[in-house]
Structure 1
Amino acid sequence: MKRRNFVKTTAGLASTALVSTGAALAENWHSQPALLAKHSFKLKYAPHIGMFENTAGKDPIDQLKFMADMGFTAFEDNGMMGRDVAQQEKMAKEMARLGITMGVFVLDKGGNGANTLAAGKPEYIDIFLNGCRKAVETAKRVNAKWTTVVPGDFERRLPIGVQTGNVIDALRRGAEILEPAGLTMVLEPLSDTPNLFLRTSDQTYEICRGVNSPSCKLLYDIYHMQKNEGNVINNIDWTWPEIAYFQIGDNPGRKEPTTGEINYKKVLQHVYKKAKAENKDFIFGMEHGNSMPGKDGETAVINAYIESDSFAV
């Protein structure tokens, strides 16, 4: 039997089927593909390299095949810009063959503590703009439409309004490079450190409105926003017009859904219904670790997404 001739389970039976074959999945992915169960997810969840390497092996191509075999229809790779051109092209070809949509990659030197856009310094802006030009070339090779940008740290010697103006000015110039190529920078507010300039969804919404370009939108990372602002569903609604991409991680721990306090089934159901009503389509990046090590942990991740995706429509 060929690798991709898998039994298609119904939504009601998928979780049970995958749990019961978890051990077989871990031991027999290559040798006995008939034991695997492919799930039909309602949403485009995007794993990353390394998430399933204990089961699929370390080769990125094998990992992409495994993701597709499990029913995932998207993929994201923060470090894609750092891969050599041959690897990028090879991965793009495989994604096209498998029907996997490329999600975000991080724009190299898109703004950080060393060259924060909030400072308004020409040399920092030049670094960012060069990153935009390189991102366009990477996006062409891997068929990407989104690249993650973090403006960097606060420039605490300047008033907050001036910092915000500096960030908007820099992002406008970046959008001028990205827009003709059909590439969107998605700004990601983070919770990693209080020094980061971009912290909340409403602040990011304001900046996107200031930039006023289809190539500058909001990446709503549910994990980070749960930590920084909470009130997740309401904040999604308030900033909805500027959201272009979602990422997932439970809190505390930044592991797969069902391991923390976020009711992902409710959040995903809300986004699904809202997007369907407006004919929008989002990728949900699985930007988190695995709660358990090894192959069993990888099976647990898949089961967590089956459970979280089992909302009523």
Structure 2
Amino acid sequence: MDRRSPLPSLNSIRAFEATGRLLSVSKAANELAVTPAAVSRQVKTLESFLGVALFERVKGRLELTSAGARYLAELMPFFAGLRQATDSIRTAGRRSQVLKIRCPATFAVRWLIPRLASFHRQHEDVDVQLTTSSAPLNFEREDIDGGIQLGDGNWPGLSAQRLIPNELIPVAAPSRKVRARSRLQGETLLHSLARADDWALWMKAAGFALDGRRREMRYETSLLAYQAAIEGHGVAIAQKALVRAELDSGQLVAPFRLELDRGAYTYYFAWPATRRQSAALTTFRDWLVSLVQTAGTF
């Protein structure tokens, strides 16, 4: 007898993944070649199956709930794997180069994936296989060609290309009405377990005391902390480059002027210094360098 938990339909999961990634029912419908009504029905079916709301409307915009953000973050690597497996079969008869890249989930969702479409348009002969993890890169044990890692870029045996500035700023939904003069007293601070020191570093630079009068919520990744901030659950400490779209759209605001630049400590693209580089890796690295050097990338 199979006692495993039942799974929701693949169609409902596909509808949710596309809607959550694009934050638009109409865009998801266009991508899936179905009607918006069909997408909405599938999402409602999934919410009914799970017993939780995955989306909510905030000032007319579609937003993920905390449960929705967590579910999407866990599903995206599986969908990436499905797409890669499908692409590998479809392109089996063509000469293509496979490039295996590992990246932290927050950086993948908030910076890399939105830009990968341009890479694929420019380099149709390179198939990027993207996996996510925050664990330190280990090229001796992992079957990867390159990876993105948070740190100072000085790793024995690795070459590294700095990607984005690491400017820390507190961010919150406009509805929370966080005031600079409050010095964050009485606010709920949203932390990422992957970047546990960010709040303490910013508070020290700002001259604010860390004390027991502030409530705290901790999340596995910055991706979840940012989503919680968007939904109004508290104030997150964010890497500015990774929330720029929400700042520009007004979904998030930065109540304080202080931006703590952590200098060399940020995200880097890294690869083995002594291993012979494939043409695909060189192409991908050059593309990343062009993004970094292009004004307005961040």
Q: Which has the higher contact order (CA 8 A, sep 6+)?
A: 2
Q: By the TM > 0.5 criterion, same fold?
A: no
Shorter-chain TM-score tier: under 0.3
More strand by share: 2
Instruction: With the length of structure 1 as denominator, give the TM-score of the two structures.
Output: 0.25
TM-score after normalising by structure 2 = 0.26
